Amino acid sequence: MLREKAQRFAQDKEIQAVLSELRAEDTAYAGPSTATYSADSMNALKQHSFDLPAMSSRGRRYEELDQLVVELLLGVR
């Protein structure tokens, strides 16, 4: 069942368009980490400086992406 959902996620044009837009806006983001938890990675994240005004200026695209994915998972999309 999840394999089918993953395929639909990859093929959904609206979801992929939102993802492309978000990736274009944040070129520093390399995707989710596949590394395991470590104290070093935790400390690096704690020390990272986030540009909150820039992040908030992006609007609600992440919320829209979340809604699209929930709809896909629930089978209404």
Please tell me the predicted confidence (pLDDT) of residue 23: 86
Q: Which has the minimum average pLDDT: 1-10, 19-28, 30-39, 56-65? A: 30-39
CA-closest candidate to residue 48, choices 58, 59, 40: 40
Please tell me the predicted confidence (pLDDT) of residue 32: 65
Sorted by sequence, the CB contacts under 8 Å of residue 58 that are 6+ apart come out as: 22, 25
Give yes or no for residue 12 having a pLDDT over 80.
Answer: yes
pTM, entire model: 0.69
Q: 3-state SS string over 4-24?
A: HHHHHHHHCHHHHHHHHHHHH
| 34-77 confidence digits (pLDDT tens) | 677 889 888 988 998 988 898 888 789 889 999 999 999 999 98
Tokens (6 digits) for 76: 């209404």
